[in-house]
A and B are shown apart, each in its own frame.
Chain A
């Protein structure tokens, strides 16, 4: 069992928890993920590690309430415990030594995963620009944290209710146009956002890393559920990723495959609500 030691509701749909998991905290690096199972009846669900404290022996998870399992996880409070937590899984994000300037882009709850990347790189002495995009002002998260872990911080909202009005790609394009040289872009967020960030950087040949979150069960290279097509080859996000070269990822296929169980998840939720 993995006790929850801190819980913060970041916005109506996003919750942050700190979980005691000393062994995982000891080994975790940015880009890696865990798989949780809330209780005996729950699914195994992957979540990227948002932060870790090796001394205190805990990890931080920030997640959006999208399905039954994340709702169950959000219903736990300090003092409760998660039944199963496995990790750290996947390959940590690799940043080559010659990289001096990075643009980290987060979209929505993807900012939760973009944040440890920014923090890690910033602490390594690399110049880090962060572009964080949200639908509107109400769902902005981690603003202060990002400010403390970046050289320049840009925030934008789809409706202009906070920061710059527009999409993260527009801000990125403007930076590139104004002569800003990035050695690398790390984009984490909804699949369409990652896809269009890659389209933006491709003409300039800027290496762009994306973090994928496909359907997954075991997370150790057994079930094959998380297979994605990268550069025309089958890759497994759990053991080959979850980071991939964004210019090679087949995003349309990923989007389709992630919808495999959508109807059933919806029915499942409706049924459970009906029972209540």
Chain B
């Protein structure tokens, strides 16, 4: 008989007041006893709806039953059959709209804490005798991966496991992509990202950093160089701005810039040279996960007030429920149904306020969400000295502008066959934000996985 508790075993967390001042991880993870207890809430459904909700098809009931029985290593092995980055997914996947969203237990009560259990299994194996994996025998075929983010790492891992000689070309000084530059330390410790990447290196994956493909080498040159297929996972591109007056004032930046300074360039640590804007009062514009990350980072960097300024209501927010909850606990102030119309500067050209207008919701728009409409004459000035724009990105132009035969749509996203992730250029596959525009880590991983299977088929059939 399954454990019929209506709620998940609570996740241990640092006190909100304490954690809002430091970059230590917010959620500290289940103990073995907590994990085993939560695991017994799984009904082990035969048709496994949760697995259908997972972009990388983790065999969820199988690993959970192993946790329940105390076979943590077995659980880890089950997860890593299909997911090369479990410690990361367990922390940053939007489980509520994926596996847990499909969980039968969620109909009446809370779903099984699948993400927390995945994280537990991965963390358990990280700290308790991780097995050293031997690199599989090479099959003699070379594949190049452009971009070391979640899509590229997943594609690389899947191909390396079946013997391909895989090289990742990463533009930054370290692989990881958004896992390193975007998602903050308090949500995803960088040490964990690097450990997962080091698991891939154990599988034989080569990583070349400081390599901007499209500049130092073209995709055509990679193929001339003996790479039989190329996967492009070059990620998010140019940050969007609102095109309102005042966006060029000192004190306005994109969330990408703000987070990169803090995360990748470790601007929060004294020993690093990276400067970060010092703020008393910050407006973060947007309602996604990146906006929550920027807002919570701003608190930790010492801001007294941090506002989320979002033009729709909380129900429409694209951010994970947990991130919104954590942000509120830590003291981020939510100004939903508000939209910036102008950023105001002082005589030195520095931000000293942001004029906003109040909004209300009208009929649903093409996204299915209710369209926000400005309420006439409701403008007011919010007292802020920093504005962080977090309203999305458009894909990176470097690859499409330097590779012949690679088609992009009018938004600049690479065009792929969604079943195979094949681009319009023979032997070139793509996935992640480069194809979809800003999306989630796990969707990028799903695309990388699909592409790996297609690349294997493509090379074998040559």
Q: From B217, B243, B275, B393, give the contact of A264 (CB < 8 A).
A: B275
- What residues on B are CB-neighbors of A222 within 8 Å? 181, 235-239, 256, 260, 393, 396
B278 adjacent to chain A (CB < 8 Å)? yes
Residue among A27, A220, A257 having the largest count of chain B Cβ atoms under 10 Å: A220
Q: In the assembly, what is the distance between CA of A256 and CA of B345, in Å?
A: 12
- What residues on A are CB-neighbors of B278 within 8 Å? 264
B265 adjacent to chain A (CB < 8 Å)? yes
Q: Is the CB of A41 within 8 A of B271?
A: yes
Q: Is the CB of B216 within 8 A of A84?
A: no
Interface pick from A143-151, A155-163, A223-231: A223-231
B458 adjacent to chain A (CB < 8 Å)? no
Q: Is the CB of B216 within 8 A of A23?
A: yes
- What residues on B are CB-neighbors of A37 within 8 Å? 173
- What residues on A are CB-neighbors of B253 within 8 Å? 224-225
Q: Is the CB of B256 within 8 A of A223?
A: yes
Q: In the assembly, what is the distance between CA of A253 and CA of B171, in Å?
A: 29
B33 adjacent to chain A (CB < 8 Å)? no
Q: From B212, B237, B241, give the contact of A86 (CB < 8 A).
A: B212
Q: Is the CB of A268 within 8 A of B396?
A: no
Chain A, range 234-276, C-beta contacts under 8 Å to B: 234, 236, 239, 250, 253, 256-257, 259-261, 264-265, 268
Q: In the assembly, what is the distance between CA of A168 and CA of B210, in Å?
A: 38
The chain B residue sitting closest to A268, CB to CB, is B273
Chain B, range 191-218, C-beta contacts under 8 Å to A: 209-212, 215-217
A85 adjacent to chain B (CB < 8 Å)? yes
A43 adjacent to chain B (CB < 8 Å)? yes
- What residues on B are CB-neighbors of A259 within 8 Å? 250
Residue among B250, B251, B393 having the largest count of chain A Cβ atoms under 10 Å: B250
Q: Given A87-B216, A223-B257, A239-B398, are A260 and B277 also a contact pair (CB < 8 Å)?
A: yes
Chain B, range 210-244, C-beta contacts under 8 Å to A: 210-212, 215-217, 235-239, 241, 243
- What residues on B are CB-neighbors of A264 within 8 Å? 275, 278
Q: Is the CB of A220 within 8 A of B250?
A: no
Q: Is the CB of A218 within 8 A of B215?
A: no
A91 nearest CB across to chain B (Å) = 9
The main secondary structure of chain B at its interface with chain A is loop
A89 adjacent to chain B (CB < 8 Å)? yes
A88 adjacent to chain B (CB < 8 Å)? yes
B200 nearest CB across to chain A (Å) = 21
Residue among B172, B211, B273, B277 having the largest count of chain A Cβ atoms under 10 Å: B273
Beyond A83-B173, A222-B181, A234-B243: 6 further Cβ-contacts under 8 Å? A85-B210, A86-B210, A222-B393, A224-B241, A227-B248, A234-B241
**Which residue numbers of A lie inside 8 Å of B, CB to CB?**
23-24, 27, 37, 41-44, 68-69, 83-89, 217-225, 227, 229, 234, 236, 239, 250, 253, 256-257, 259-261, 264-265, 268
18 contacts between A and B (CB under 8 A): A27-B215, A27-B217, A41-B271, A86-B211, A217-B261, A218-B171, A218-B260, A219-B212, A220-B171, A222-B260, A227-B248, A239-B238, A250-B248, A253-B349, A256-B349, A261-B275, A261-B277, A268-B275
